């Protein structure tokens, strides 16, 4: 859903530049972000990362960021059959996955950590956050992700 570039000037989710105009109150940016955050937390974890990126710019959103919100809304409209479905007869085995994106935020030199735990094929716990420490390699950032996932597992 989100294509980011390590080239800071080409990243569509970069912070507002000096020559860019901030959206006014007539654009319901905060309301849209709030609604998308609710969906991401309750039924659509597939949009969580994109919403996280756009929510970082809630104090000074630009037209670029508003286009990102509209992109997510179009994605949701086209994928109404995707969501969390819990069934009564499914296996109750818990399965966990962890991953990290090395230097996924080139503006702050931070990596991204994510994990998800499923039970019976449906998501029951997940998180996607920027790492608080600066990783020195992709292996280092993966170890941070595994550490966070193991803490949640316990």
Domain co-membership, 103 together with 42: no
Letter string b/e over residues 39-64, b meaning 16 or more CB atoms within 10 A of that residue's CB: bbeeebbbbbbbbbbbbbbeeebbeb
Give the pair of three-digit tokens for residue 82. 């995707």
Is residue 44 domain-resident?
A: yes
Domain co-membership, 18 together with 66: yes
pLDDT of residue 23: 81
Per-residue pLDDT tens for 92-121?
A: 788 899 988 887 666 677 788 889 898 877
Domain co-membership, 66 together with 115: no
Q: Write down the pTM of the prediction.
A: 0.63
Count of the separate structural domains present in the chain: 2
Domain co-membership, 25 together with 53: yes
Is residue 120 domain-resident?
A: yes
Q: Inter-axis angle of helices 63-78 and 29-42, to 10 degrees?
A: 40
Domain co-membership, 12 together with 65: yes
Higher-pLDDT residue of 42, 148:
148
Is residue 1 domain-resident?
A: no
Domain co-membership, 110 together with 50: no
Per-residue pLDDT tens for 59-80?
A: 888 888 898 899 999 999 999 8
Is residue 42 domain-resident?
A: yes
pLDDT of residue 1: 53
Stretch 127-153: mean pLDDT: 85
pLDDT of residue 118: 85
Does residue 36 surpass a pLDDT of 80?
yes
Give the pair of three-digit tokens for residue 103. 């230097």
pLDDT of residue 106: 67
φ, ψ dihedrals at 40, nearest 5° = -65, -35
Domain co-membership, 120 together with 74: no
pLDDT of residue 3: 59
The dihedral region occupied by 121, where left means phi > 0, alpha psi between -120 and 50, and beta the remainder, is left
Most confident of the following: 17-21, 102-106, 146-150: 146-150
Does residue 41 surpass a pLDDT of 70?
yes
Does residue 6 surpass a pLDDT of 70?
no
Give the model's confidence band at 26: pLDDT under 50 very low, under 70 low, under 90 confident, else very high. Answer: confident
Give me the domain span that covers residue 134: 94-153
DSSP for 20-84, please give it.
SPPP-TTS-HHHHHHHHHHHHHHT-GGGHHHHHHHHTTTTS--HHHHHHHHHHHHHHHHTTT-S-
Question: Cα(50)–Cα(122) distance, rounded to whole angstroms?
Answer: 20
Is residue 3 domain-resident?
A: no
**CB-based contacts of 140, cutoff 8 Å, min separation 6:** none
Is residue 37 domain-resident?
A: yes
């Amino acid at each position: 859903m989100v294509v980011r570039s390590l080239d800071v000037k080409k990243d569509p989710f970069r912070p507002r530049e000096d020559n860019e105009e901030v959206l006014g109150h007539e654009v319901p940016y905060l309301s849209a972000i709030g609604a998308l955050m609710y969906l991401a937390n309750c039924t659509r974890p597939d949009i969580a990362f994109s919403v996280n990126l756009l929510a970082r710019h809630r104090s000074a959103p630009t037209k670029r960021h508003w286009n990102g919100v509209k992109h997510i809304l179009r994605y949701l409209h086209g994928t109404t059959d995707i969501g969390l479905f819990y069934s009564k007869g499914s296996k109750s085995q818990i399965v966990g996955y962890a991953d990290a994106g090395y230097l996924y935020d080139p503006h702050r030199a931070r990596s991204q950590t994510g994990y998800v735990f499923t039970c019976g094929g449906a998501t029951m716990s997940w998180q996607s956050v920027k790492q608080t420490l600066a990783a020195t390699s992709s292996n280092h950032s993966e170890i941070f992700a595994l550490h966070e996932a193991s803490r949640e597992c316990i």
